[in-house]
Amino acid sequence: MALKIEMLRAFCTVAQTGNLSEAANRLGRTQSAVSMTLKQMEDHLGKRLFEGERKNQLSPLGEQVFELAQKQVRRFDQTVQSIELAAEAAHGLLQIVSVPSVAALVFPPVLEHMTARHPGLKVELRDTDTQEVLDALAEGKADIGIASGYHPLNGVRAVPLFADRFGLVCATDHPLHRQETAPTIADVISSSFVRNALCGLIRNERFVEASSNADVTIHNTHSLITMVRTGKWVTVLPQTVARFMPEATAFRPIADLPDKREVYLYQRERSRFAALAEECCAFIQSCDLSGDPG
């Protein structure tokens, strides 16, 4: 018996809720049917997915399966949504995926511009990390992508969009923000520094060496900014991200860190509505996105 997507969905729902009753309600199935699905999965794998019968604690294998299954269920649902959207797109369809920090800048004007010029146009917007952007383009799930860095893809054209400088992000009452002179890498790293995924784009040897031993890494930008706002932590982000930070947080250049994050615009060379994608890319390139005076 092969594993099926609905089996993975049932398993993920039970793992998330921690009990069969709630999972069955969410899935619109009977508790016995969900229990049977889990048993079929375990029989197929030859190992237990949960510790005990209460389904509130995953086994070591269950932890691994949950991580993998969640991604596949989410990807399957996105694919189905895209297929249904494409079937309804009599007046055209644009699928755009972007890293979150640029999506906040691009999506509002793109949506306003393209829908005003093309009534009835269907637009699917999604924000995610760079690797997921590249995957969506490679798999034909996006016509246009915006990602950090240059990554060659077969059948996909890439052009530089903008570059924005990395700098210190901290609370407005933090000593590094109030001091007269610009902070240095050493100042930042020694001030309860929190590493994030975008730090991996920095090639400055001094920064790479100093930040590699950071005790805390946060990948979610919202959680990262929440930590920074307490005044106890600092981080390093591109200046574009700083444009959407809440009050009580600030961006400041770092004296000995000239590195910039390069953002590229990706376009599939062959797509169902190529003319629309071309027009949209031209509009994106005409926008002033970085806001970096340097």
Domain boundaries, the chain: 5-82, 91-161+261-286, 164-259
Give the pLDDT confidence score for residue 170 in this predicted structure: 94
Query: What kind and span of H or E run contains 149?
Result: none
CA dihedral over 273, 274, 279, 281, signed as positive or negative: positive
**Token duo for residue 28:** 């619109």
Give the pLDDT confidence score for residue 260 in this predicted structure: 94
Q: Is there a contact between 132 and 239 (Cβ–Cβ < 8 Å)?
A: no
- Kindly provide the residue ranges of all beta strands, DSSP E only, lying in 39-193, ordered along the sequence: 93-98, 122-127, 144-148, 156-171
Give the pLDDT confidence score for residue 293 in this predicted structure: 44
Q: How far apart are CA 96 and CA 124, in angstroms?
A: 6
Q: Which residues of the chain fall short of a pLDDT of 70?
A: 1, 85-86, 88-90, 290-294
Reference 231, options 194, 270, 257; nearest CA is 194
Is 91-161+261-286 in the same CATH topology as 5-82? no
Provide the CA 91 distance to its chain's centre, in angstroms.
Answer: 29
**Hey, how many other C-beta atoms are within 10 angstroms of the C-beta on 282?**
9
Fold of 91-161+261-286: D-Maltodextrin-Binding Protein; domain 2 (3.40.190)
Give the pLDDT confidence score for residue 88 in this predicted structure: 66
Q: What is the CATH number of domain 5-82?
A: 1.10.10.10
Q: How far apart are CA 262 and CA 209, in angstroms?
A: 21
Residue 281 has what DSSP assignment? H
Give the pLDDT confidence score for residue 290 in this predicted structure: 62
**Token duo for residue 194:** 């929190």
Architecture of domain 164-259 in this structure? 3-Layer(aba) Sandwich (3.40)
Q: How far apart are CA 221 and CA 280, in angstroms?
A: 27
Residue 193 has what DSSP assignment? B
Query: What kind and span of H or E run contains 260?
Result: strand 260-268
Beta-bridged to residue 96, according to DSSP, are 125, 144
30 SS3 class: coil
29 SS3 class: coil
Q: Is there a contact between 30 and 24 (Cβ–Cβ < 8 Å)?
A: yes
Residues 6+ apart with CB under 8 A from 85: 93, 122, 124
